[in-house]
Amino acid sequence: MAILVSPRLLAALAPAFLGCLLLQVTTGAGIPEKAFNLTWISTDFKTILEWQPKPTNYTYTVQISDRSRNWKYKCISTTDTECDLTDEVVKDVHWTYEAKVLSVPRRNSVYGDEDQLVIHGQEPPFTNAPKFLPYRDTLLGQPVIQQFEQDSRKLNVLVKDTLTLVRKNGTFLTMRQVFGKDLGYIITYRKGSSTGKKTNITNTNEFSIDVEEGTSYCFFVQAMIFSRKNNQKSPESITVCTEQWKSIMGETLIIVGAVVFLATVFIILLSISLCKRRNRRAGQKRKNTPSGLA
């Protein structure tokens, strides 16, 4: 039985059918697709460029511009959909970088010169990434509370300086050395028995906050870049409490005290055992000695 199909329906389905057919022919012929969804993933200047799709019958090569506006090749002929560009962007975190992902057929011979990648005399299809300024665009990592102390009416907190992959004279720089006074920290704290929160900001990595004596406090910190409008703050650090610290210190002292006590008891018992053994051996020696020689 023949199935009647409306001419209008055929006309409507024709573009979709042709598109699917063209996609199959393109894939089968090994013609590379252009990369899409190019995204910079960067935290504390550790920087990776990601994109889609996973390649079939072709590879990717990444190019990135330097301060001289020359294009450098990175991740040449890779089948991955990401490329670590940290070593390039940390050379100057104040420079705006441009990058692009080229799609290169595997079956073709690929050769390059200083200016461009060439495939049979033609530049391969490519997609430009958004421009990337490390100083502005890298995200801030989770800060770490190095130490803290609640001394009478003061809560003193020290935040650890995070080390970056930015170098100067062969030495890795900290976030503080890169951002200077533009880097600050915000602390959010509350009484241990309360939900009301207060905040305090510093442009160093130290806090000294007035608190109530004899009251426990819980807090966390966040890094922040004052000059930024977007991506200004980091994730929150782990929340810690001063009573928790006292509890940990108390438990530690108890454990240490118990170990010292057990060690002392063991040494005393061992000394008594050795003394008894020595006395026993001395008594046996006297019994075995002839009376005339004693």
pTM over 0.75: no
pLDDT at res. 31: 75
Whether residue 93 is contained in a domain is answered as: yes
Query: How far apart are alpha carbons 56 and 24 in whole angstroms?
Result: 12
Please check whether residues 162 and 226 belong to one and the same domain: yes
Please check whether residues 229 and 167 belong to one and the same domain: yes
Query: How far apart are alpha carbons 78 and 59 in whole angstroms?
Result: 5
Structure tokens at 45: 């200047």
Quick one: which H or E segment has residue 277? helix 242-287
State the DSSP code for 97. B
- CA 245 and chain centroid, separation: 26
Question: Quick check: 189 and 217 in contact, CB under 8 A?
Answer: yes
What Å distances lie between residue 293 and 280, 288, 289, CA to CA? 20, 11, 7
Structure tokens at 211: 């608190």
pLDDT at res. 18: 41
Please check whether residues 124 and 166 belong to one and the same domain: no
pLDDT at res. 184: 97
Please check whether residues 197 and 177 belong to one and the same domain: yes
Query: Residue 151: which CATH number?
Result: 2.60.40.10
Strands, DSSP E only, in 134-197?
A: 145-151, 154-159, 163-168, 171-174, 183-191
How buried is 168 (Cβ within 10 angstroms: 0-12 exposed, 13-18 middle, 19+ buried)? exposed
Please check whether residues 156 and 191 belong to one and the same domain: yes
Structure tokens at 112: 């390059």
Tokens 């890795």 belong to 172
Please check whether residues 78 and 109 belong to one and the same domain: yes
Please check whether residues 116 and 76 belong to one and the same domain: yes
Q: Collect the ranges in the chain with pLDDT lower than 70.
A: 1-30, 107-121, 244-261, 281-294
CA-based nearest residue to 161, from 44, 37, 286, 8: 44
Peptide bond into 290 cis (omega under 30): no
Reading phi first (left if > 0) and then psi (alpha if -120 to 50, else beta), residue 266 is in: alpha
Tokens 């012929």 belong to 29
Whether residue 294 is contained in a domain is answered as: no
pLDDT at res. 12: 56
Whether residue 65 is contained in a domain is answered as: yes
Please check whether residues 156 and 96 belong to one and the same domain: no
Please check whether residues 133 and 44 belong to one and the same domain: yes
pLDDT at res. 278: 74
Q: For residue 35, give the 3-state DSSP assignment.
A: coil
CA-based nearest residue to 141, from 201, 185, 182, 191: 185
- How many domains are there within the chain? 2
Whether residue 156 is contained in a domain is answered as: yes
Whether residue 128 is contained in a domain is answered as: yes
pLDDT at res. 289: 58
CA-based nearest residue to 44, from 142, 158, 191, 168: 142
Q: Which residues contact 157 (CB under 8 A, 6 or more apart)?
A: 145, 147, 148, 187, 206, 207, 209, 219, 221
State the DSSP code for 233. B
Please check whether residues 202 and 238 belong to one and the same domain: yes
Tokens 């990337």 belong to 132
Whether residue 72 is contained in a domain is answered as: yes
Please check whether residues 72 and 104 belong to one and the same domain: yes
Whether residue 254 is contained in a domain is answered as: no
pLDDT at res. 69: 82
pLDDT at res. 294: 45
Please check whether residues 46 and 99 belong to one and the same domain: yes
Quick one: which H or E segment has residue 182? none
Whether residue 273 is contained in a domain is answered as: no
Domain that holds residue 239: 145-246
